[in-house]
Amino acid sequence: MDEVKYRDSEEFLEQFFSEPEEVIRSVIRSELRNIVVPERKKGRYTVIRRFILVSAAVIVIVLSVFLLPQNITVTTFSSQNVPHTAIVKSTYEPIWYEYREVSDNGTALFKNQVDTKRLFIEFLALGTVTGLLYFTFRE
């Protein structure tokens, strides 16, 4: 039934109503043979675009785990017992870095805090550069 040829439409209809599944399978097989699926070319630009995306993913992991922007702050208390906080130093430290220290006389507390503004700006700049590079290398 694979290579069924019909002489006219009446013979086709007669065959269709007696064995509809076979006729449908036959038509589908013949149509699938005629379909040509184009092969996707892996051009130079496709490889470059994938490299850009993988590099951006690695940079995001490095920035968010190993080079996290942090501020070392000191908190002091005034004579009225009001806390005053100031940033002493900005640094890049890993995510597990914890800096807590009390001053010698016990009046100041040093600790680290993640600088979310700087981290947001870094991710925004990275996304912009990655997007520009990605869309520059279009095929």
Q: Do 61 and 124 share a domain, yes or no?
A: yes
Structural domain count, the chain: 2
Task: Indicate the pTM of the whole model.
Answer: 0.60
The domain in which residue 33 lies consists of 1-37
Q: Do 69 and 100 share a domain, yes or no?
A: yes
pLDDT at site 1 = 44
Strand partners, 113: 71
> Tell me: the pLDDT tens digits for 28-70?
777 777 777 677 667 788 888 889 999 999 999 998 889 899 9
